[in-house]
Amino acid sequence: MLRVGLTGGIAAGKSLAAGRLRAMGAVVIDADALAREVVEPGTEGLAEVLAAFGGHLATADGSLDRRALGDIIFGDPRARERLNGILHPRIRALAEARTAEAPADAVVVEDLPLLVETGQVARFHLVVVIDAPEDQRIDRMVRLRGMTPEAALSRLRAQLGPDERNAAADVVIDNAGSEADTLAHLEALWHSRILPFNANLLAGVPAVRDPLDPVGSDPTWPAQAARLSARLRRVDPRVLDVEHIGPAAVPGLRAPDVLEFRLMVATPADAAALQPLLTTAGFPPALGQPGAEPAAGHGRLGFHSSADPGRAAEVHLELAGAGVPAGTHDPR
């Protein structure tokens, strides 16, 4: 099962993307729908919200007056943080339950507006951000939601900025053009990356890649490496540390576009136990695969490679404290 996180700022076009991904076969879990579900009449979530913000927020039929609650939390960071503390754990638990109900071979897309803000990037194999220029988003809110330009701008400014959100993405889809262009980009992503990624996960094999020639140093490599490192660290507590190593870890150095990592474990038994967990996380064993050989001295306890056809990455399992193998690049 491939897990994709889909996010974007207000009026960027996230719902358009979610609808198209659903039409192409993804199981889409809508966090906004879950947020309504966890505060339905009779739920513990609703009871806790009313206790925190006042019983007057209950309507005549016992449901939550969401507009009145929005008026309370908008512009009040403390109130918003308190509400998030009530809702987000329940939403996340419900999303996990819905994911568990999906077919084992599914592509599961979580449509999650606050994916980056709530620190959930590492939960997903792939994070897709839908982006659009501020003026277009304001225009959409005015035309489609009946908001004033001032109110629309206030809503935009209350959210995470696009630069920070986009920096957390594996893929950014620009929705500045026509709807047809955006959908075409999504379809290309689905067929060229998402479906092959899922197929590799299900088969337990890395993505097949031709040998890569050195290229100019990419300024986005450190951010990409940080995302993959976070995913590797959350695989299991037996992962003691993850280091970005190899030529691409050296600033300014021409290198093949491959991100390499040293994953530290305490014992060989821990390395063996991690192998299936790394496969589930998107890094199947690579030894024996065509063209997949670790650098000299690396991969002494295991050598894994990314199943993502859009991001070449290699993981070398080694004992903590064993030192840096001779002849390798180390960013320290």
Residues annotated in a binding site for ATP: 11-16
160 contacts 43 by C-beta, under 8 angstroms = no
Q: How far is CA 322 from CA 111, 250, 285, in A?
A: 42, 21, 21
Q: Which residues, at least 6 apart from 125, have a Cβ–Cβ distance to it below 8 Å?
A: 2, 3, 4, 197, 201, 231, 281, 282, 308
Residue type, 222: P
Radius of gyration of the chain from its Cα atoms, rounded to whole angstroms: 22
d(CA 143, CA 156): 15
d(CA 229, CA 264): 12
Which residue is associated with the tokens 């994916």?
A: 115
CA atoms within 13 A on the CB side of 233: 13
Strand order, beta sheet including 171-174: 27-30, 107-111, 2-8, 126-131, 171-174
Binding residues, as ranges, are 11-16
243 closest CA partner among 262, 264, 230: 262
d(CA 173, CA 283): 25
